Structure 1
Amino acid sequence: MMQVYDRVVTTGGILTLVWLTIVVAFALGTLSALDGIRSRIMIRAGLRLDRLLSRDILDHALRMTRGGRAPQVMRDFDTVRQAFSGPPAIALMDMPWVPIYVLVAFLLHWILGVAVIVGALVLLGITILNERATRDATKAATRTLSQSYGEQERLVAQAELVRSQGMREALVARHVERRATGLGLTSSHQFASGQYSSIAKFWRMFLQSAALGLGAYLAVEREISSGAIIAASVLMGRALQPIELLVGAWKPMTDAREALSNLVELYTGAPRTKAFPLPAPAGRIEARGLTLWGPKGAPPILANVGVEGGPGELIGITGPSGAGKSTLMRVLVGAVAPDSGEIRVDGSELRDWDPETLAGHIGYLPQDCALLPGTVAENIARFALARGDDPEAVNRKVIAAATAAGVHTLVTQLPEGYNHVVGWGGEGLSYGQRQRVALARALYGDPAILLLDEPNAALDAEGEAALIAAIGKARARGATVLVAAHRVAVLAAATKLLVLVGGRVQHWGPAEEVRQRLQIRAPEPRLAEVKASNG
């Protein structure tokens, strides 16, 4: 621009104008090409970041024994990844050019350099004010909307129950109200951020115009050439543009910062060293002083609970509803960490075992079955093929587990047999079928320790007989079996009984002694015929 005014206009040099046009076209083309390359590099960097960290982040989320923000970690990671590969990162990458523009402005005239610095400082001040004004609102909005999204997913998953019980309108109204709260916080944050962005834009445009006036004044005073008038305005705009972009990208940057703090929290307290490899457990399990506190102000869910069992034993856990049976099973399997107490497997504390390795030696049937989307075979095999196990060995173990659970014939009668696809929670199967498939999953790989939570809750007489037979076979091969149940037929052969009331141990000891204390007789197990093909 300076050359056009200083050389072309004053001398009428058309050839100079042509060459300047060619040079400018080449420079702008190069700039556009570099911008395109930078954009591709940023996108590829985001993809590489995903490849490097997504597996580890999800693995840490699944290791968490307390809920927290674990369901949101991948959404948080995507927020951070997009910030590192999107407009916020580009705005930060353009910031190093600001001192260069300031230096060129000083080369034109020191007053122009000072004006650029003043303008940059004002924009930085606006950026800081923007951050302070929106920080709390951003954090609250992010958490509220995250909870809203999680609630929506759970509502959709329970749509059948919601419709059948006439709760649709009430739950929709409640969800919309909570969503409106989150959106209100978001909009207040956006309003504030938008105001600061508008102020920053006004200030930059005003300074560009003021630079023209300042340049004209200096040209009149013969301090700079007439071409430098336009150059002063351009330099002012280019120096302030990265800062203005930073103000405009402040919302995604603050969202990314909040998401990053959640990811840091996820890794806080994570084990730094890999567990020492221990030999396969024989099945001895001991728990002492297990205490788990409820929500703030609530009584403990478990209070100083202890239980132990060895190979071949059947430990029965019973008690009224809400006694803490299911919670105890979740603590014993390592799904929930107690606030105090210890759990030992073959003498080693639970935290000394590699969780993934130990899980291969434990069979767990939760109360809700918890089947996952995939085929019946994949669920029984605990998705072993996805971690690279030998397909033939996996298939053999699947058949063996289904046969041991007495569910092989049932599975073969499904539309696609073992390849029959189920949804979340076992959608596509009856509740009794889900429970029997989940039992087969627990028996997969002949685990040394078997924990069954209400395993006969949805079973008919034939299914219960198959369950009792499966427990007997597991004990015969040396497995330690712990069963929590209301229906005591499955506990008829128990060697020890634990009775919980209100999260506390009421009775514990050999089964016959506990029954005598309670003055009850051992129930006769149901002797339903189980087909040979079902094991």
Structure 2
Amino acid sequence: MPMLDAIKRHLWSIALFGIASNVLVLAPTIYLLQVYDRVLPSRSLETLSMLMMFMGIALSMMLAVDLVRHRLLSDLGRQLADRLDRLALAARIDTHARRLSRPELATAQDVAALRAFLSGSGVTAFLDMPWLVVYLGLMFLFHWSLGLIAIVSALLLVGLTLLNDRLTENSVRAYTTRQRETDQMAAQISRNAEIVTVLGMNAAMIDAWSARRCVDLDAQVKAGETSSLNRSIGKALRQVIQAVMMGAGAWLVINQFATGGVMLATTILLGKALAPVEQMLGSWKQFTEVRQAWTRLDALYRSSPERRAVELPRPTGRLTVEALAFSSYSATGPRGRMLLKGIQFVLNPGQLLVIVGASASGKSTLLRLLAGLWEPQAGTVRLDGADIAQWPREALGRFLGYVPQDVELFAGTVAANIARDPNPAAADTGAIVRAAQRAYVHETILGLPNGYETEIGESGETLSGGQRQAIALARALYGDPRLVLLDEPNANLDADGERLLNSALLQLKRDCVTVVVVTHRQSVLSIADRVMLMRNGQVDCFGTREQVEAWVKSRARPAAAPQSGEQRREAAAS
């Protein structure tokens, strides 16, 4: 659904209060007109008292209406920002998980810009713009010359606003795009802080970031200076226009075409009429940023949430892969070489598959496809006969355990990481302990300073590599997973760690959990039910460990040396 349709009801309410506000804005003009044209000539204190009373009521109502309108805009900004922030974070998680490049994706900065615009004076000025026509019509009722001056004045300010847009749009677009890239660069440097520090890259990376940041700031300052210059010109032009209007009104009064009240009323009314234009001119830079962000935010809002499918029964863990093919891709579609081609196999519940092969043979890519993280260009991954893409992500996560090659833990406690929830108080503490016991890391956790409540720091920095991998395995085993996918789970383990890992895998087999392990080490092969040897994105051999070992030995046996003609004749004679 378009974002404009979602906020249309709010906008109609705000517009209705805007009508009331703009009608009440006329009260000071009418009051001044009546005082000059009725009270002063008649010297009637009763009339003045009544006018002041009605003026007080009108101003009180205007204050209440403006407060309500501002509150509605603030509520709209907050509700919309909360919704968009969640969508933006979900889209960012999905983009990073799928390793896509999507520079057009809306960011938190876009949401903040929209919220600031809705909470500021720019949106009220935009909504009050149609009332310019009403004010100009009222001035024509006083005298055609006053209306003509007002029209020319409005055209001058509108023209200045459009000129400001033309002068600043490209520069604002350029620096906002570059600023997004600079922010991404800073985040990348922070993620790789360890290697940057160890290799002495600090100065080089900071200099590169600073250079980009200086270019961004220069472009931002240039756009701001252009907008500020136009705003100053607009303010001065408005003062000149009011002086011209006052002079024209005085000329009309001298020639008895109008009264003194009309002269002052039209001057004040012109100020009210041109105020929205001047406000828009003052906040045009912000308006330009929001206009550019609106396209990205609207596309984000239109992206339908994960559709609610019929809830599938708890899977047993039968995994079927049918003619799987996958190539590297971007947000726009497939590109690059084929990473996987013609992958197919079947695993029954409780079977352990070990995938081996040289680096870049497609092992980790296959594991991501089995997890439903990436979508294949051809073929299907089925869990209990259902295409894994049919499973809602949240529902699938309950039955899926996954340990990636690069283990990432979250800042918080050990319990929070195992429970897959920053607030483990709501989780089943018994399930947390059982997961740790199944991963054979329970004793290790008890040895930490605060046991399961130990804070592990950003990305688990207070833990060793082996401890991080063991806790990641416990997180994968939390709940009741029926399919467990492990990518190099023993990369940081010593001999005792590998022995405990094998014990955990054997227990999973006894619990009829289907397990797929990618590894370069040989220790897991001894307990494997099936072994897959991959080469260049294809299956070289698939079968039991003995079958694969026999196939590898047959491939490694040197071919017989070619015989000479004399040897062939001797062999034939014998």
Q: TM-score range by the shorter chain?
A: 0.7 to 0.9
Structure 2 distance, partners of 1:503, 1:445, is 33
Name the residue aligned to 2:160. 126
Moved more, 453-462 or 307-316: 307-316
Moved more, 180-189 or 215-224: 180-189
Structure 1 distance, partners of 2:542, 2:227, is 62
Does residue 240 (structure 1) correspond to residue 277 (structure 2)? The answer is no
Name the residue aligned to 2:138. 104
Bigger radius of gyration, 1 or 2? Answer: 2
8 Å Cα contact 2:502/2:527 also seen in 1: no
Does residue 46 (structure 1) correspond to residue 83 (structure 2)? The answer is no
Moved more, 8-17 or 306-315: 8-17
Structure 2 distance, partners of 1:91, 1:188, is 25
Name the residue aligned to 2:116. 82
The structural deviation recorded for 1:67 is: 5.2
Q: Report the count of equivalent residues.
A: 517
Name the residue aligned to 1:209. 243
The structural deviation recorded for 1:151 is: 2.5
Name the residue aligned to 1:529. none
Structure 1 distance, partners of 2:353, 2:274, is 73
Q: How does the TM-score come out when normalised to structure 1?
A: 0.86
> Are residues 350 and 127 of structure 1, via their aligned partners in 2, closer, same or farther at CA, if it must alter by over 3 Å?
farther
- Say which SS state the counterpart of residue 380 (structure 2) adopts: strand
- Say which SS state the counterpart of residue 421 (structure 1) adopts: coil
1:327-361 deviation line (CA, Å, top 9, x unaligned): 33223212233444432222222221111101111
Q: Percent identity?
A: 36
Supply the AA of the counterpart residue of 1:40. R
8 Å Cα contact 1:290/1:340 also seen in 2: yes
8 Å Cα contact 1:325/1:484 also seen in 2: yes
1:187-220 deviation line (CA, Å, top 9, x unaligned): 3333333343334333323222221122223223
The residue correspondences of 1:60-71 to structure 2 (distance < 5 A) are: 60-64=91-95, 65=98, 66=100, 68=102
Does residue 499 (structure 1) correspond to residue 533 (structure 2)? The answer is yes
Moved more, 172-181 or 434-443: 172-181
Does residue 345 (structure 1) correspond to residue 383 (structure 2)? The answer is yes
The residue correspondences of 1:37-436 to structure 2 (distance < 5 A) are: 37-51=68-82, 54-55=85-86, 57-64=88-95, 65=98, 66=100, 68=102, 73-267=107-301, 270=304, 273-287=307-321, 288-293=323-328, 299-300=336-337, 302-304=339-341, 306-308=343-345, 309-383=347-421, 391=427, 394-436=428-470
- Say which SS state the counterpart of residue 519 (structure 1) adopts: helix
The structural deviation recorded for 1:28 is: 4.5
- Say which SS state the counterpart of residue 311 (structure 2) adopts: coil
Moved more, 424-433 or 317-326: 317-326
Structure 2 distance, partners of 1:37, 1:402, is 54
The structural deviation recorded for 1:474 is: 0.9
- RMSD between superposed Cα atoms in Å: 3.1
The structural deviation recorded for 1:166 is: 0.6
Q: How does the TM-score come out when normalised to structure 2?
A: 0.81
8 Å Cα contact 2:106/2:300 also seen in 1: no
Structure 1 distance, partners of 2:122, 2:381, is 47
> Are residues 177 and 516 of structure 1, via their aligned partners in 2, closer, same or farther at CA, if it must alter by over 3 Å?
farther
- Say which SS state the counterpart of residue 337 (structure 2) adopts: coil
Name the residue aligned to 1:459. 493
- Say which SS state the counterpart of residue 282 (structure 1) adopts: coil
- Say which SS state the counterpart of residue 452 (structure 2) adopts: helix
> Are residues 423 and 140 of structure 1, via their aligned partners in 2, closer, same or farther at CA, if it must alter by over 3 Å?
farther
Moved more, 32-41 or 348-357: 32-41
Supply the AA of the counterpart residue of 1:380. I
> Are residues 488 and 300 of structure 1, via their aligned partners in 2, closer, same or farther at CA, if it must alter by over 3 Å?
farther
8 Å Cα contact 2:364/2:518 also seen in 1: yes
1:25-50 deviation line (CA, Å, top 9, x unaligned): 66545544543443333323333334
Supply the AA of the counterpart residue of 1:143. T
Structure 1 distance, partners of 2:483, 2:275, is 64
8 Å Cα contact 1:497/1:510 also seen in 2: yes
> Are residues 220 and 499 of structure 1, via their aligned partners in 2, closer, same or farther at CA, if it must alter by over 3 Å?
farther
1:430-453 deviation line (CA, Å, top 9, x unaligned): 221111000000111131111001
- Say which SS state the counterpart of residue 531 (structure 2) adopts: strand
Structure 2 distance, partners of 1:191, 1:227, is 40
